[in-house]
Structure 1
Amino acid sequence: MAFTFQINDDVVWNRNERLLKKAEMNMPKLIHTEIQPTRLVEIVADNHFINGFKAVTSEREISKLSEYGLKRDEKLVLDLGDHYVGKFTIDIDSIGSPMDAPLYLHLKFAEVPAEIMAESKEYDGWLSKSWIQEEFVHIDVLPVTLEMPRRYSCRYIELEVIDTSPKWQASFCNPTFIAESSVTLDDVEKIELADEQLQAIHDVSVKTLQDCMQTVFEDGPKRDRRLWIGDLRLQALANYATFDDVALVKRCLYLFGGMTTEEGKIPANVFTAPSLIPDDTFLFDYSLFFAVILFDYVKHTNDKEVMEDLYTVAKKQIDFALKQVDEAGRLVLDEAWPVFIDWSNEFDKATAGQAVFIYTLKRFIELAHQTNDQDLNIYQTALENMETFAKEKLFDQKKQQFIVEGTDEINVASQVWMVLAQVMNEQTNKEIMTEAIRTQFPITGIATPYMYHHIVEALFVAGLTTDGEKLMKNYWGKMIEMGADTFWEAFKLEDPDFSPYGSPIINSYCHAWSCTPAYLIKDYLFN
């Protein structure tokens, strides 16, 4: 499992203020909801839950919170009852003799119980430990209303008294969490599924998406808090099937369209604070996906204005990518513009990258038809060449699988993306995925719901509905069995306690690219 940071500090950026103004016109007003903790809990060991811990109801009662005076090294854990994103306040007073020393307080904010038990001082991963959701606070005078200035993504909040003095204890009351999102669950049309497990998967998907819908579609409200284009494509699809907030999709499209390199290339992600800032990270497939997101948006809304504003931006991504295709129709990848496909570097991504480009070209050509693009023939010819190369050079007729040229490597990502791109006919697609199930299932080495989404959808596209549903239940259903209130950034069925960063304390347990079962269920199973 690997990801390489890109540093491209020589990029010259072009800001299209007209497009960015339209992005700001679609800025949502966040909805704030007051949440009161539902109970006090104890965190106990249980290997059936993620990273070996679960929350159980404490003998202490939340209604009597103010009666529990805490002294040195004593703690309690609040349970909000569900996962939320927002800010925390609590009233604190002293009990006993006069306050002859400051209160030294340690607060932890956790999406899953295991985060409470993890020690931040032991973390030594490659992501910054500044993402760890904990605070150390000195309070000189009580009583006080402690208002935490940061935004947190959590369900559990631990209050640990590091020290007071032997003469007095700290007392807590009125804990309040102000949750925020651009949407509410009331905005979703309720669906009722006969299958209880599918219903639970659908509902947790919706909650995951809600908590990632802030002023943009964030990739993770706990960590990164950015607009990534790969996540956006999947969030938009799930959004159309649930909240249907088209303004937020429009805003995100305009943000990417309004901040490109001098040559017109789209960054993989953008920051929105303290101002609008494009990141100096570029991914081949993510740049292409701008055209796909635009296609999906126009198909869903028939919004001609957005189409007119952003078509040229999408076209430039296609033109950049075509420079990587040789006369034979072969995609030649460039390390300076890598293809993502998935976190894992355990498989060669060349064939999958070829398929992603074919998938994108088919959608872009439909946009080109609508705009009467004079270059339409160029794109149609490129598509024909790339599909012909895939069929003649990358498809092994005997094995009924797509290979990687030069090594004959067969991996699941190659099959999945070629099926999604519908390079072959329906019957062959079904044979490809049937063979993939026989030879490559159960899947190993893949740890992202991002890739699992594409595998499940490819099974549905290939007509293997039962297999797709089974994989969705096995993967997302297992997260729920292990305590998920929202779906996670990373999860390996063969290694449930896996962390790409070496500790659960830095993992994101509410992540955008895991929210898609709501879309998959509605589009492939419910209708």
Structure 2
Amino acid sequence: MAFTFQINDDVVWNHDEKLLAKAEDNTPDLIQTTVTPTAIAEITADEKSVNGFKSVVSDKNIARLEDYTLGRDEKIVLDLGDHYVGKFSVDIDSVGSPMDAPLYLRLKFAEIPAEIPAESADYDGWLSRSWIQEEFVHIDVLPMTLEMPRRYSCRYIELSVIDTSPKWKASFSNPTFVAESSVSMEQLPKPAIQDKELEAIYNISVKTLQDCMQTVFEDGPKRDRRLWIGDLRLQALANYHTFDDLALTKRCLYLFGGMTTEEGKIPANVFTEPKLTPDDTFLFDYSLFFATILFDYVEHTQDQEVLLDLYPAAKKEIDLALQQVDEQGRLVLTEDWPVFIDWSNEFDKATAGQAVMIYALKRFIQLAEKMNDVQLGDYQTICDQLESFAKTALYDEAKKQFVIEASGEVNVASQVWMVLAEVMDDETNKAIMETTVAEQFPITGIATPYMYHHVVEALFVAGLSDAAVQLMKDYWGTMIEMGADTFWEAFKPEEPNFSPYGSPIISSYCHAWSCTPAYLIKKYLA
């Protein structure tokens, strides 16, 4: 089962106004920071950098920007010095003879250098080209301050003059980027990390998280700018071990709990503008994660009010999911409520889906205990059935691996999620992951930090800390070697320039589900 666009226009939604009011009460005031470019950049070819381009500091002095006037087909690239999310403005004047024609200007905002030479006209991917951070502007009268109304996620800004006239050129000065986030690095205590490579990975993880923390935990500030529940689960864990912004986590929980289908299904993501709107996309594992996010939050805060408010939504979701478990304890997945696990379509996700069901149910049972739920025994019974089926029908003792029931397929995701669900004892879990490392590493066919996070955590859970640290360095460390300021939505070590959309111009290079090394380092190594 693959992730595809879903259109479910017959869904009937319940909006719990009490819960949504509490979500709004926890909306943060964004912290604004004024950033000025640190340099003028030259974008040059470099096969070791992501998508074949790197940035080098130009001989031109950023302090003399207004002296570098631009005419037809001339351009200049500003470097903010780091990745930021916010709005851009610049002063523009005409130099030379009187302004006898409008200024026709193109602005490009890029998270990585390779986006600058990429041409939007060449993009032919499956996501909308409207996500491309590129603007065309006509200006009739100069001087003026150009204030771009949209928000951008970028480090590099290219100012490209399409045309003026032969009589005059454009001069740019006072470029200003007002960065926004719900948190500040100043509130973050600096951890003592002795390993310099892990320290770099930690720092970039935190920067990634910060730029995704807006009025909700966004999945990517460049694209999609939405609250996705799979990303939220990982962002919240990283947040607890770094900024610890509890109000933002609470807000996001209330948004999901306050907008469910008539039967109780929780959407995969929600929109917050122009009004609160649940998306008509449903993923089985993402829906289950509502209960695990609530569990993690309550464990971290002991917030009984949130538990009382949101337990009914979590319970409905679990009950709905358990309708897909047969009498033998087998999870039966359906096309209309697919399991995500990872973007990759190169492996069967049935066994991993069974494990996620167990993982979520175990955490919900602990919430049910706190709530003195009269059905607690029933939930424990079905959890035992799910685990028993996994042990007897899905685990191959000789291979020391979980398999796909229908085909016998062995894949990384099955092992990882069964270990995270702690279906087997510690000794067996260790053997499972040792076998996985020996037989399935280096990993291929998986493109997301989302899945790599779970692999690393499963190694930690199985007691293989050295292997976990090495995989973090091999994966996130390689992104740094290739020029990452923030961690990416997608990365295949075996195919470094991979983009799920066929072009870097649409890929997200600051993405929420890639921020988790900060959590992994603090939880398992601190």
Q: TM-score, normalised by structure 2?
A: 1.00
Counterpart of 1:52 in structure 2 is 52
For residues 73-152 of structure 1, the aligned pairs below 5 Å read: 73-152=73-152
Which residue number corresponds to residue 428 of structure 1? 428
Query: Which residue in 2 is equivalent to 1:400?
Result: 400
Question: 1:208-254 deviations in whole A, cap 9, x for unaligned?
Answer: 00000000000000001000000000000000000000100000000
Tell me how far apart the structure 1 counterparts of residues 401 and 263 of structure 2 sit (CA, whole Å): 38
Deviations 1:351-383 (A, max 9, x none): 000000101111000000000000101100010
| Whole-angstrom distance in 1 between the partners of 2:233 and 2:449 | 14
In 2: Cα distance, 1:189 partner to 1:449 partner: 25
Q: C-alpha separation between the residues in 2 aligned to 1:392 and 1:223? A: 43
Look up the equivalent residue of 1:257 and give its one-letter code.
Answer: G
Q: Where does residue 218 of structure 1 map in the other structure?
A: 218
Q: How does 1:192-341 map to 2 (within 5 A)?
A: 192-341=192-341
User: Superposed, which structure 2 residues align to 1:455-474 within 5 Å?
Assistant: 455-474=455-474
Paired residue secondary structure (1:117): coil
Query: Does 2:482 align with 1:482?
Result: yes
Deviation at 1:186, TM superposition (A): 0.9
> In 2, Cα distance between the equivalents of 1:518 and 1:211?
14
Corresponding position: 1:525 with 2:511: no
Offset of residue 187 of structure 1:
1.4
Cα deviations by residue, 1:289-319 (Å, 9 ceiling, x for unpaired): 0000000000000000000000010001110
> Aligned-pair distance for 1:113?
0.1
Letter paired with 2:368: A
| Residues in 2 aligned to 1:447 and 1:47: alpha-carbon distance in whole angstroms | 20
> Structure 2: how far apart are the matches of 1:185 and 1:4?
37
CA–CA separation in structure 1 for the residues paired with 2:321 and 2:279: 19
Contact 2:71 2:161 in 1 (8 A): yes
SS at match of 2:525: helix
Give the partner amino acid of 1:14: N
1:351 aligns with 2:351: yes
For 1:374, the equivalent position in structure 2 comes to 374
Give the C-alpha shift of residue 3 in structure 1: 3.1
Distance 1:324 1:107 in 2: 51
C-alpha separation in 2, matches of 1:472 and 1:430: 18
The letter of the residue matching 1:325 is: V
| Structure 1: distance between partners of 2:115 and 2:192 | 33
- Secondary structure of 2:513's counterpart equals helix
CA shift at 1:192, angstroms?
A: 2.0
Matched to 1:179, the amino acid is: A
CA distance in 2, matches of 1:383, 1:25: 36
Q: Distance in 1 between matches of 2:210 and 2:356?
A: 28
Q: CA deviation at 1:2?
A: 5.7
Where 2:313 maps in the other structure, the secondary structure is: helix
Runs of 4+ in 1 over 6 A off after TM superposition: none
| Cα deviation digits, residues 83-134 of structure 1 (max 9, x gap) | 0000000000000000000000000000000000100000000000000000
Distance in 2 separating the partners of 1:206 and 1:192? 14
Contact persistence 2:70–2:161 (CA under 8 A):
yes
Gaps of 5+ in 1: none
Separation in structure 1 between the aligned mates of residue 306 and residue 144 of structure 2, nearest angstrom = 50
Corresponding residue number in structure 1 for 2:160: 160
- Give the length in aligned residue pairs: 526
Q: Secondary structure at the match of 2:316?
A: helix
Shift of 1:194: 1.0
Give the secondary structure class of the aligned counterpart of 2:109.
strand
Cα distance between partner residues in 1 of 2:3 and 2:337: 14
Distance 1:131 1:105 in 2: 19
- Mapping 1:161-200, distance limit 5 Å: 161-200=161-200
Counterparts of 2:207 and 2:107, CA distance in 1: 25
Please give the per-residue CA displacement for 1:428-454, whole angstroms capped at 9, x wherever unaligned: 000000000111000000000000000
The amino acid across from 1:320 in the alignment is: L
Taking a change above 3 Å as real, the CA distance of residues 175 and 142 of structure 1, as seen in their structure-2 partners, is same
Rounded to whole Å, the distance in 2 between the matches of 1:229 and 1:480 is 27
